[in-house]
Structure 1
Amino acid sequence: MKGVREGEPAAIRIVLADDHPLFREGLRKILEAQTDMQVVGEADEVVAVPDLVRLTRPDVVLLDVGVPGADVPELVGQIADIAPGIGVVVLSMSDDPDFVRALARRHVRGFLHKSTSRHELVAVVRAASRPGHVTVSISADGADRLFAPPGEVIRVQRLSQREAEVLGLAAQALSNVQIAGRLGTTEGTVKRHLRNVFGKLGAVSRIDAINRGIAAGIVPAPYAGRPGPLDSPVVR
């Protein structure tokens, strides 16, 4: 169990539900490699999930639709009854629109195709941990339109790994020169990555990009309220 420093928010508590031990282990390692995440329970069958949610009170349930006996929309409803406001993220091999609509009606906060990257997985789990904020859809074609949440849908897979790293360092109040030094690249390359980030997130300034990155889960919550030093327009 990770310790939490005084003044820092508690780690995001996560329950994993997947019937393949090797895949579940991989998910756990990816999530627990993040300083702001903690896996508090695991299930390999649907019937165990509701009791596990009652016992551990997680912030997010990461649910594989392939778990034996899974009526996923019904299970999501049960989870919501037990812990209102919990963030459910569904993993699936299917992009079927009718299935995504059924999940949307149950207010699932995230939908991930199993071909997703670890960067996308982490970002969606972070976003799903914040109640009532944003629904994030990844990889399912058109799923962002099907969810139609009250807030903005951000397709976080549009950022490359390096772009996400640059945005995360900007959120830690590092200047472009400092970011370049940290990543072993040039200031010009950092500016190019920031231009790409601003364009992909629809941001008009450094702070706006950081706030949108926080909303999408790209930037960890501990950096909220600690924007970069320059609230400048797009860097030319």
Structure 2
Amino acid sequence: MRSEADPLPLLSDHLPPDRPIRVLIVDDHALLRDGLRGILEAENDIVVVGEAGNSEQAVAYVAATTPDIVVLDVDIPGDKVTATLTRIQLRSARTKAIILSIYDEPMVVQELLAMGVRGYLLKSVNRQDFVAAIRGVYQDDQRVVLSISQQSLQQVNGARVNLLSDREREVIMLVAGAMSNAQIATRLRITEGTVKRHLRNIFTKLGAVSRIDAVNKAAAAHQLPSRKS
């Protein structure tokens, strides 16, 4: 069931962009890739710039083509999807990711939204909604499109998933306060090496590429502890 909280744009409302929307398809099933390519290339405002069957190919194609949209299977071979997203963001910050999945799992959706994905679509999505999601995400920098069950949508909207451990949340809170690694180590009475290890874990879990990015993504995922008055 499609989310009514963020409806997909109507195809009749679509105005062609100045240039085609450039899309990379990433899925390990060649038959599915062929089907997606056929759907997209039937549209006069979308062009498929490449196909990839695993995470390494996906990252290489993104670096080479800097697509507007990457349609990414949640279960591709190679790196986990979270690691793949981080590598994609490092190579092309302008590329927006839409996840295709068979899993209607609120925890998975919440984690990927915290990493900045712009859409999460079940593979049961129909052709029109799939194309509309790509157009909507491309045209609107604030749009996030979900095509999941109503039950999952309610859980995603109401969830406060603890992606980070208590100690990691303490560390990112101090990073948000502009503290250096040395200052954080002193405050928490741990070594600077331990602070760096916590930060590596935080970056991996949130798909962050910098300290500021980590703070922003932690805030978006409700991972910053409340300040005590």
Code of the residue aligned with 2:144 in structure 1: it is T
Determine if the alignment matches structure 1 residue 117 to structure 2 residue 110: no
The CA distance in 1 between the partners of 2:122 and 2:80, in whole Å, is: 18
For 1:151-166, what aligned pairs fall within 5 Å after superposition? none
Code of the residue aligned with 1:119 in structure 2: it is Q
Determine if the alignment matches structure 1 residue 32 to structure 2 residue 52: no
CA contact (8 A) 2:23 2:50 kept: yes
Determine if the alignment matches structure 1 residue 104 to structure 2 residue 113: yes
1:146 match: 156
- 1:88 deviation in Å? 0.3
2:74 match: 65
1:183-204 Cα deviation digits (max 9, x unpaired): xxxxxxxxxxxxxxxxxxxxxx
The CA distance in 1 between the partners of 2:83 and 2:71, in whole Å, is: 15
TM-score by length of 1: 0.56
- 1:62 deviation in Å? 0.2
CA change 1:75–1:31 in 2 (3 A) is same
CA change 1:108–1:143 in 2 (3 A) is farther
- 1:67 deviation in Å? 1.4
- 1:145 deviation in Å? 6.7
Structure 2 unmatched runs, 5+: 1-15, 159-229
The CA distance in 2 between the partners of 1:42 and 1:62, in whole Å, is: 10
Rg comparison, structure with higher value: 2
Q: How many residues align?
A: 142
2:20 match: 11
CA contact (8 A) 1:111 1:140 kept: no
1:178-234 Cα deviation digits (max 9, x unpaired): xxxxxxxxxxxxxxxxxxxxxxxxxxxxxxxxxxxxxxxxxxxxxxxxxxxxxxxxx
The CA distance in 2 between the partners of 1:8 and 1:130, in whole Å, is: 8
CA contact (8 A) 1:100 1:143 kept: no
1:87 match: 96
The CA distance in 2 between the partners of 1:59 and 1:106, in whole Å, is: 17
TM-score by length of 2: 0.58
Q: Higher RCO, 1 or 2 (CA under 8 Å, sep at least 6)?
A: 2
Q: Please state whether the residue corresponding to 1:129 is helix, strand or coil.
A: helix
CA contact (8 A) 2:106 2:155 kept: no
Instruction: Output the aligned Cα RMSD.
Output: 2.0
Code of the residue aligned with 2:125 in structure 1: it is T
- 1:144 deviation in Å? 7.3
Fraction of identical pairs, as percent? 35
Structure 1 unmatched runs, 5+: 1-6, 149-236
